[in-house]
Amino acid sequence: MRELKIFNTLTRNKEVFTPLTEGYVGMYVCGPTVYSNAHLGNVRTFLTFDVLFRFLRSIGYKVRYVRNITDVGHLVGDGDEGEDKIGKMAKLEQIEPMEVVQRYTNDFHDVLRQFNFLSPSVEPTATGHLIEQIEAVKDLIEKGLAYESNGSVYFDINKYNEQGGNYGKLSGRILEDLLNETRELDGQSEKRNPLDFAIWKNASPEHIMQWPSPWGMGFPGWHLECSCMSAKYLGDQFDIHGGGMDLKFPHHECEIAQGTSLNGVSPVRYWMHTNMLTVNGQKMSKSLGNSFLPAQLFTGDHDLLDQAYSPMTVRFFMLQSQYRSTLDFSNDALKGSQKAFRRLLNGLRIVKTLSYVSSEEPTDEKKKKNVEEAIEGFYEALGDDLNTAVGIAHLFTMLKYINMMYMNQLNPSALGENTFNELKEKYIHFFEDILGLKEEQNESDASVLNGMLELYKEYKSNRQFDKVDQIRAYFKDNNMVVKDLKHRIDWAWEE
RNA sequence: GGUCUCGUGGCCGAGUGGCUAGGCAGUGGUCUGCAAAACCAUGUACAGCGGUUCGAAUCCGCUCGAGACCUCCA
**CATH number, position A290:** 1.10.730.10
Residues A95, A243: one domain?
yes
Do residue A101 and residue A244 come from a single domain? Answer: yes
Separation CA A455–CA A432 (nearest Å): 33
Q: Are A111 and A40 in contact (CB under 8 A)?
A: no
Q: How far apart are CA A436 and CA A67, in angstroms?
A: 18
Amino acid at A114: Q
Q: Is the CB of A396 under 7 A from strand B?
A: yes
List Cα–Cα distances, A155 to A89, A149, A214, A227, A254, in angstroms.
28, 11, 16, 13, 9
Final residue of a structural domain among A239, A274, A309: A274
Q: Where is the domain boundary, A274, A298, A325?
A: A274
A298 and A400 belong to one structural domain: yes
Residues A283 and A269 in one domain: no
In contact, A161 and A173? CB cutoff 8 Å: no
8 A C-beta contact, residue A285 and residue A326: no
Give yes or no: residues A252 and A386 share one domain. no
Is strand B within 7 Å of residue A488 (CB)?
no
How many residues appear in chain A?
495
- CA-wise closest residue to A26 among A68, A67, A64: A64
A291 and A348 part of one domain: yes
Quick one: A223 and A174 in the same domain?
Answer: yes
- What is Dmax (Cα atoms) for chain A? 91
Decide if A5 is inside a domain. Answer: no
Report whether A47 contacts A115 (CB < 8 A). Answer: yes
In a domain, A1, yes or no: no
Inter-axis angle of helices A311-319 and A331-353, nearest 10: 100
- Kindly determine whether the C-beta of residue A77 is less than 7 Å away from any atom of nucleic acid strand B: yes
Is A439 among the domain residues?
A: no
Q: Which of residues 235-254 of A touch strand B (CB under 7 A)?
A: 243-251
Separation between the CA of A348 and the C1’ of B53 (whole angstroms): 48
Distance of A448 CA from B69 C1′ (whole Å)? 57
Phi, psi of A353 (to 5 degrees): -95, -10
Q: Are residues A302 and A248 in the same domain?
A: no
Instruction: Say if residues A7 and A385 touch (Cβ distance below 8 Å).
Output: yes
pLDDT of residue A186: 46
Strand B contacted by A85 CB (< 7 A): yes
Helix (H) or strand (E) holding A240: strand A238-244
Q: Which of residues 336-355 of A touch strand B (CB under 7 A)?
A: 336-337, 339-340, 343, 346
- pLDDT per residue rounded down to tens, chain A (495 residues): 899 999 999 988 899 999 999 999 999 999 999 988 998 999 999 999 999 999 999 999 999 999 999 998 777 654 556 678 888 888 888 888 899 999 999 999 999 999 999 999 999 999 999 999 999 999 999 999 999 999 999 999 999 999 999 999 998 888 887 777 655 444 456 888 888 999 999 988 878 889 999 999 999 999 999 999 999 999 999 999 999 999 999 999 999 999 999 999 999 999 999 999 998 788 888 777 788 899 999 999 988 889 999 999 999 999 999 999 999 888 999 999 999 999 999 999 999 999 998 888 889 999 999 999 999 999 999 999 999 999 999 999 999 999 999 999 999 999 999 999 999 999 999 999 999 999 987 666 677 888 888 899 899 989 999 999 999 988 888 888 888 887 888 888 877
> Residue A223 sits in which domain range?
20-274
The CATH number of residue A188's host domain is: 3.40.50.620
ipTM, interface predicted TM-score of the complex:
0.95
Compute CA A298 distance to the chain's CA centroid, rounded to the nearest angstrom.
Answer: 18
Say whether the CB atom of A410 is under 7 angstroms from strand B: no
Same domain flag for A338 and A396: yes
Residue A7 lies in a domain: no
A383 and A429 within one domain: yes
CA distances for A296 relative to A39, A215, A317, angstroms: 10, 45, 16
| In a domain? residue A90 | yes
Q: Is residue A14 part of a domain?
A: no
In a domain, A116, yes or no: yes
Report CA(A172)–C1'(B51) in Å, whole number.
30
**Which of the nucleotides lies closest to A44 (Cα–C1')?**
B74
Give the end of a domain, one of A413, A434, A455. A434
In a domain, A11, yes or no: no
> Do A266 and A296 have their domain in common?
no
Shortest-distance nucleotide from A31 CA to C1': B74
A24 touches strand B (CB under 7 A): no
- What is the β-pairing status of strands A13-16 and A218-220? unpaired
Angstrom distance (rounded) from CA A74 to CA A71: 8
Task: Please state at what angle helix A222-234 crosses helix A253-263, rounded to 10 degrees.
Answer: 50
d(CA A27, CA A233): 10
Are A373 and A475 found together in one domain? Answer: no
- CA-based nearest residue to A261, from A299, A305, A288, A231: A231
Number of domains comprising chain A: 3
Whether pTM > 0.90 for this model: the answer is: yes
CA angle A437, A14, A254 (to 5 degrees): 90
